[in-house]
Structure 1
Amino acid sequence: MTSYKEILRLHSIGINNSRIAFGCSCSRTTVINVLQRAKDQGLSWQTVAEMSDKELSQRLFPSESAKPAYKMPDYEYIHRERAKSGVTLTLLWLEYCATSAASPGKSLTSRPSSTNITLTMCKAPR
Protein backbone atom coordinates (compact mmCIF):
# COMPACT_ATOMS: atom_id res chain seq x y z
CA MET A 1 0.00 0.00 0.00
CA THR A 2 1.23 3.47 -0.83
CA SER A 3 2.23 5.63 2.12
CA TYR A 4 0.58 8.97 1.44
CA LYS A 5 2.18 10.52 4.52
CA GLU A 6 5.63 9.57 3.22
CA ILE A 7 4.87 11.16 -0.15
CA LEU A 8 3.86 14.41 1.55
CA ARG A 9 6.89 14.31 3.86
CA LEU A 10 9.35 13.81 1.03
CA HIS A 11 7.67 16.54 -1.02
CA SER A 12 7.90 18.95 1.92
CA ILE A 13 11.70 18.57 2.06
CA GLY A 14 12.03 19.35 -1.65
CA ILE A 15 12.52 15.94 -3.28
CA ASN A 16 11.24 15.74 -6.87
CA ASN A 17 8.33 13.50 -7.91
CA SER A 18 10.44 10.89 -9.69
CA ARG A 19 12.62 10.31 -6.64
CA ILE A 20 9.58 10.22 -4.36
CA ALA A 21 8.02 7.57 -6.62
CA PHE A 22 11.22 5.52 -6.54
CA GLY A 23 11.55 5.86 -2.77
CA CYS A 24 7.91 4.94 -2.08
CA SER A 25 7.79 2.14 -4.69
CA CYS A 26 4.87 3.66 -6.55
CA SER A 27 4.34 5.35 -9.90
CA ARG A 28 5.07 8.99 -10.55
CA THR A 29 1.41 9.40 -11.51
CA THR A 30 0.39 8.23 -8.03
CA VAL A 31 2.71 10.80 -6.48
CA ILE A 32 1.28 13.57 -8.68
CA ASN A 33 -2.32 12.52 -7.87
CA VAL A 34 -1.66 12.46 -4.12
CA LEU A 35 0.07 15.85 -4.17
CA GLN A 36 -2.71 17.39 -6.29
CA ARG A 37 -5.46 16.04 -4.02
CA ALA A 38 -3.58 17.22 -0.93
CA LYS A 39 -3.18 20.69 -2.48
CA ASP A 40 -6.89 20.82 -3.40
CA GLN A 41 -7.83 20.05 0.21
CA GLY A 42 -5.21 22.34 1.75
CA LEU A 43 -3.24 19.49 3.30
CA SER A 44 0.50 19.68 3.89
CA TRP A 45 3.01 17.58 5.79
CA GLN A 46 2.55 19.77 8.88
CA THR A 47 -1.21 19.23 8.91
CA VAL A 48 -1.12 15.46 8.31
CA ALA A 49 1.83 14.54 10.54
CA GLU A 50 -0.48 13.55 13.40
CA MET A 51 -3.11 11.82 11.22
CA SER A 52 -3.22 8.07 10.83
CA ASP A 53 -2.67 6.58 7.38
CA LYS A 54 -6.31 5.50 7.26
CA GLU A 55 -7.59 9.01 8.06
CA LEU A 56 -5.36 10.55 5.43
CA SER A 57 -6.41 7.98 2.85
CA GLN A 58 -10.09 8.73 3.48
CA ARG A 59 -9.45 12.49 3.22
CA LEU A 60 -7.56 12.18 -0.06
CA PHE A 61 -9.72 9.50 -1.70
CA PRO A 62 -13.22 9.62 -0.13
CA SER A 63 -15.02 7.98 -3.05
CA GLU A 64 -12.93 4.81 -2.87
CA SER A 65 -13.98 4.10 0.72
CA ALA A 66 -17.69 3.78 -0.17
CA LYS A 67 -18.28 1.19 -2.87
CA PRO A 68 -21.75 1.12 -4.43
CA ALA A 69 -23.98 -1.82 -3.61
CA TYR A 70 -25.62 -3.54 -6.56
CA LYS A 71 -29.00 -5.20 -6.24
CA MET A 72 -28.53 -8.78 -7.39
CA PRO A 73 -31.33 -10.91 -8.82
CA ASP A 74 -33.11 -13.41 -6.55
CA TYR A 75 -31.69 -16.64 -7.96
CA GLU A 76 -34.04 -18.92 -5.99
CA TYR A 77 -37.03 -17.09 -7.47
CA ILE A 78 -35.50 -17.37 -10.96
CA HIS A 79 -35.00 -21.11 -10.52
CA ARG A 80 -38.63 -21.61 -9.39
CA GLU A 81 -40.01 -19.48 -12.22
CA ARG A 82 -37.87 -21.22 -14.88
CA ALA A 83 -39.54 -24.50 -13.96
CA LYS A 84 -42.87 -23.10 -15.16
CA SER A 85 -43.93 -23.48 -18.77
CA GLY A 86 -43.41 -20.47 -21.03
CA VAL A 87 -41.08 -18.55 -18.69
CA THR A 88 -37.83 -17.48 -20.31
CA LEU A 89 -34.73 -15.79 -18.95
CA THR A 90 -35.57 -12.77 -21.06
CA LEU A 91 -38.98 -12.42 -19.39
CA LEU A 92 -37.41 -12.78 -15.95
CA TRP A 93 -34.73 -10.26 -16.87
CA LEU A 94 -37.31 -7.71 -17.98
CA GLU A 95 -39.23 -8.28 -14.74
CA TYR A 96 -36.02 -7.76 -12.74
CA CYS A 97 -35.26 -4.52 -14.61
CA ALA A 98 -38.77 -3.21 -13.97
CA THR A 99 -38.69 -3.97 -10.23
CA SER A 100 -35.13 -2.81 -9.63
CA ALA A 101 -35.58 0.50 -11.47
CA ALA A 102 -38.02 1.59 -8.78
CA SER A 103 -35.67 0.72 -5.90
CA PRO A 104 -32.81 2.95 -4.74
CA GLY A 105 -29.19 2.12 -5.50
CA LYS A 106 -27.60 0.61 -8.57
CA SER A 107 -28.93 -2.34 -10.48
CA LEU A 108 -27.91 -4.46 -13.42
CA THR A 109 -29.71 -3.56 -16.65
CA SER A 110 -29.57 -4.92 -20.15
CA ARG A 111 -28.88 -3.41 -23.51
CA PRO A 112 -30.12 -5.95 -26.10
CA SER A 113 -28.03 -6.37 -29.23
CA SER A 114 -28.80 -8.36 -32.36
CA THR A 115 -27.42 -11.69 -31.07
CA ASN A 116 -27.14 -11.53 -27.28
CA ILE A 117 -27.84 -9.47 -24.19
CA THR A 118 -25.00 -7.33 -22.86
CA LEU A 119 -25.05 -6.53 -19.14
CA THR A 120 -24.12 -3.01 -18.08
CA MET A 121 -24.16 -1.15 -14.77
CA CYS A 122 -26.61 1.75 -14.53
CA LYS A 123 -27.84 4.04 -11.79
CA ALA A 124 -31.46 3.71 -10.81
CA PRO A 125 -33.55 6.84 -11.47
CA ARG A 126 -34.14 9.13 -8.50
Structure 2
Amino acid sequence: MNLFSSVIGWFIFFVVEPMLPIQLKSELINYMFFNNFKSANTQSLLILTACIIFFATFIMKFFILRVLLLSLSEPVAKKQEEPQTSQRRRWRSFSTAKLQNTNLVITTLIANSLSYTAITIILIFRSK
Protein backbone atom coordinates (compact mmCIF):
# COMPACT_ATOMS: atom_id res chain seq x y z
CA MET A 1 0.00 0.00 0.00
CA ASN A 2 2.79 2.42 0.93
CA LEU A 3 4.79 1.40 -2.12
CA PHE A 4 1.89 2.03 -4.49
CA SER A 5 1.05 5.39 -2.95
CA SER A 6 4.72 6.44 -2.98
CA VAL A 7 5.12 5.50 -6.64
CA ILE A 8 1.96 7.39 -7.57
CA GLY A 9 3.06 10.40 -5.49
CA TRP A 10 6.52 10.56 -7.07
CA PHE A 11 5.00 10.16 -10.52
CA ILE A 12 2.70 13.12 -9.87
CA PHE A 13 5.65 15.14 -8.52
CA PHE A 14 7.77 14.50 -11.62
CA VAL A 15 4.86 15.42 -13.88
CA VAL A 16 4.09 18.67 -12.00
CA GLU A 17 7.68 19.77 -11.26
CA PRO A 18 8.56 20.94 -14.81
CA MET A 19 5.46 23.15 -14.80
CA LEU A 20 6.50 25.09 -11.67
CA PRO A 21 7.82 28.66 -12.03
CA ILE A 22 11.60 29.00 -11.82
CA GLN A 23 11.41 31.08 -8.63
CA LEU A 24 9.38 28.38 -6.87
CA LYS A 25 11.80 25.70 -8.07
CA SER A 26 14.76 27.64 -6.69
CA GLU A 27 12.95 28.21 -3.37
CA LEU A 28 12.21 24.49 -3.13
CA ILE A 29 15.83 23.54 -3.86
CA ASN A 30 17.02 26.19 -1.39
CA TYR A 31 14.79 24.72 1.32
CA MET A 32 15.78 21.12 0.63
CA PHE A 33 19.54 21.70 0.54
CA PHE A 34 20.06 24.72 2.79
CA ASN A 35 16.98 24.59 5.05
CA ASN A 36 15.88 28.20 4.63
CA PHE A 37 13.25 30.19 2.80
CA LYS A 38 13.67 33.58 1.18
CA SER A 39 9.97 34.43 1.35
CA ALA A 40 7.16 33.61 3.75
CA ASN A 41 4.84 33.13 0.79
CA THR A 42 6.75 30.01 -0.24
CA GLN A 43 6.55 28.63 3.28
CA SER A 44 2.76 29.11 3.29
CA LEU A 45 2.52 27.41 -0.07
CA LEU A 46 4.61 24.51 1.23
CA ILE A 47 2.35 24.07 4.27
CA LEU A 48 -0.77 24.14 2.08
CA THR A 49 0.80 21.63 -0.28
CA ALA A 50 1.71 19.35 2.64
CA CYS A 51 -1.91 19.36 3.84
CA ILE A 52 -3.18 18.55 0.36
CA ILE A 53 -0.61 15.75 0.03
CA PHE A 54 -1.64 14.33 3.43
CA PHE A 55 -5.31 14.01 2.49
CA ALA A 56 -4.55 12.84 -1.06
CA THR A 57 -2.26 10.15 0.33
CA PHE A 58 -4.89 9.11 2.86
CA ILE A 59 -7.55 8.73 0.17
CA MET A 60 -5.11 6.92 -2.13
CA LYS A 61 -4.03 4.49 0.60
CA PHE A 62 -7.63 3.81 1.59
CA PHE A 63 -8.64 2.91 -1.96
CA ILE A 64 -5.50 0.85 -2.55
CA LEU A 65 -6.11 -1.05 0.69
CA ARG A 66 -9.74 -1.57 -0.27
CA VAL A 67 -8.73 -2.99 -3.67
CA LEU A 68 -6.12 -5.25 -2.08
CA LEU A 69 -8.64 -6.56 0.45
CA LEU A 70 -11.19 -7.19 -2.29
CA SER A 71 -8.60 -9.07 -4.33
CA LEU A 72 -7.79 -11.27 -1.32
CA SER A 73 -11.38 -12.16 -0.54
CA GLU A 74 -12.63 -15.44 -1.86
CA PRO A 75 -15.15 -15.25 -4.67
CA VAL A 76 -18.61 -16.10 -3.51
CA ALA A 77 -20.15 -18.74 -5.71
CA LYS A 78 -23.89 -18.33 -5.95
CA LYS A 79 -25.83 -21.45 -5.30
CA GLN A 80 -28.89 -22.14 -7.35
CA GLU A 81 -30.94 -22.54 -4.21
CA GLU A 82 -30.08 -19.72 -1.88
CA PRO A 83 -31.66 -20.06 1.52
CA GLN A 84 -34.04 -17.29 2.50
CA THR A 85 -32.35 -14.92 4.89
CA SER A 86 -34.33 -13.07 7.46
CA GLN A 87 -34.50 -9.31 7.61
CA ARG A 88 -32.58 -9.34 10.87
CA ARG A 89 -29.72 -11.40 9.41
CA ARG A 90 -29.48 -9.10 6.37
CA TRP A 91 -29.39 -6.05 8.65
CA ARG A 92 -26.69 -7.66 10.79
CA SER A 93 -24.50 -8.44 7.76
CA PHE A 94 -25.03 -4.90 6.42
CA SER A 95 -24.06 -3.31 9.73
CA THR A 96 -21.03 -5.63 10.00
CA ALA A 97 -19.86 -4.56 6.53
CA LYS A 98 -20.44 -0.91 7.46
CA LEU A 99 -18.45 -1.37 10.69
CA GLN A 100 -15.59 -3.05 8.82
CA ASN A 101 -15.54 -0.19 6.30
CA THR A 102 -15.46 2.35 9.15
CA ASN A 103 -12.64 0.46 10.87
CA LEU A 104 -10.70 0.43 7.59
CA VAL A 105 -11.06 4.21 7.24
CA ILE A 106 -10.02 4.85 10.85
CA THR A 107 -7.09 2.44 10.64
CA THR A 108 -5.84 4.01 7.42
CA LEU A 109 -6.24 7.52 8.86
CA ILE A 110 -4.34 6.63 12.05
CA ALA A 111 -1.51 4.94 10.12
CA ASN A 112 -1.20 7.85 7.70
CA SER A 113 -1.28 10.37 10.57
CA LEU A 114 1.46 8.53 12.47
CA SER A 115 3.60 8.38 9.35
CA TYR A 116 3.25 12.10 8.67
CA THR A 117 3.79 12.90 12.35
CA ALA A 118 7.10 11.05 12.26
CA ILE A 119 8.13 12.97 9.14
CA THR A 120 7.13 16.27 10.77
CA ILE A 121 9.14 15.50 13.91
CA ILE A 122 12.20 14.73 11.78
CA LEU A 123 11.75 18.03 9.90
CA ILE A 124 11.42 19.94 13.19
CA PHE A 125 14.62 18.39 14.55
CA ARG A 126 16.34 19.13 11.24
CA SER A 127 15.36 22.79 11.35
CA LYS A 128 16.87 23.41 14.80
Same fold (TM over 0.5): no
**TM-score, normalized by length of structure 2?**
0.30
Higher relative contact order (Cα pairs below 8 Å, separated by 6+ residues)? 2
TM-score (norm 1): 0.30
Higher percent of residues as strand: 1
In our comparison, the structure showing a higher alpha carbon Rg is 1
**Bigger helix share:** 2
